[in-house]
Structure 1
C-alpha cells in the first residue's frame, strides 16, 4: 500500500500522463473499448509498481513503456484476429512515441489556442470541415460560397494556424 504522499504524487503524475498514454494506446489498438481497458490496466500496473519508480527519471516514458506491455498482451490475447503486430515494431514505435509525446502535447495545446483565436468565416469553415466532417461542396452550399472559395479559405486558415502554432511553441520555449 502506498503512503499518502506517494498516492498524491502518483495521482499528479498519472493525471498528466494519462492523455498521452491513451493516445499512444489508441494509435496501436483500433477497438476503443479495448483502449479504455488497456489504459485502465496500465494505470493499475503503474500504481502497483509505483514504489519501484525512479523519480530521477521522467514518468511519461516509464508509463508508456508499461502501456506497451499491456498493448502486446492485448495483441497476444486477440491473436485470432487477422491483425498481426510485430513485437520489434511495437518496441521501436514505443521508444519514438515516448520521445515525441511531449512535443505532440505542446502542439495540441498550441493548436487549441490558435483555433480559439480564429474568428468569423474561417472559424466557421474550420469547424464545419474538421469537427463536422463536411466536404468543401457541402460547406459552400451551406454558406452560399463557391467550393473553390471554401478551399482557398481553408488553405489560408491552415497556414495561419501553422504560423500561430509555431509562434505559441516558440513562446513556450520549444522548437517548431
Structure 2
C-alpha cells in the first residue's frame, strides 16, 4: 500500500535522522572545510528527499545515502578543481572508497562511545558534550565546573582517557563474542 505524504515524510525523517551523523562524517572525510561539507550534506538531504520514491523499502538507506553523498562530494570537488583544488579526482575516489570501508568500524566506535558516555555521571556527560560544542569556550566551561582553565583541561583529558579505555574494552568484548 503506498504511503501518504505524511507517512512518506515520517519515513524519510526517521531514516535520515538515524543516519545523518554517519553521512556527515563520510562527507567530512572527503570535503576539507566543515562549512562546505555542511553544504554538501544539505544537498544530499535534498536529493534523498527528491528520490525517496525510488528507494526500495527493503534496501539499505545508509548505503543509498552514501552513494548519493559520494556523487555530491565528488561533484563539489570537481567544481572546486576548476578553481585549482589540490587533490586529483582519483585520490578523492580512493578516499571515498576507504571512507565507505571504514564506516562500519566507525559506527561500532560511535556506538561504544554513546554507551560509555551513558556510564558517566550526568554532570560529567554535560560538561563533555559542551566541551565539544562548536561554540564552546573552555574558560566558560571551566568556570561553570568550578575549575581553573588548566584544571578543566586536565579533567577533560582524564575523562577522555576513561572514555577511550571504556570504548576499547567494549570493542574488545564485542570482538570476542
TM-score (norm 1): 0.64
Range moving further from structure 2, 38-47 or 106-115: 106-115
Name which of 38, 41, 44 aligns with 2:40: 38
CA distance in 1, matches of 2:15, 2:167: 26
Please give the root-mean-square deviation of Cα atoms over the aligned residues, in Å. Answer: 4.2
Extract unaligned runs of 5+ from structure 2: 139-146
Give the number of equivalent residue pairs.
166
Map 1:143-158; keep pairs closer than 5 Å.
none
User: Shift of the alpha carbon at 1:116?
Assistant: 5.3
TM-score (norm 2): 0.64
User: Shift of the alpha carbon at 1:157?
Assistant: 6.3
CA distance in 2, matches of 1:56, 1:33: 33
Higher relative contact order (CA 8 A, sep 6+): 2
Indicate the residue corresponding to 1:69 in structure 2. 71
Which structure is larger by alpha-carbon Rg, 1 or 2?
A: 1
Extract unaligned runs of 5+ from structure 1: 135-142, 145-149
Instruction: Find the residue that maps to 2:95 and give its secondary structure.
Output: helix
User: Shift of the alpha carbon at 1:91?
Assistant: 2.9
CA distance in 2, matches of 1:57, 1:47: 15
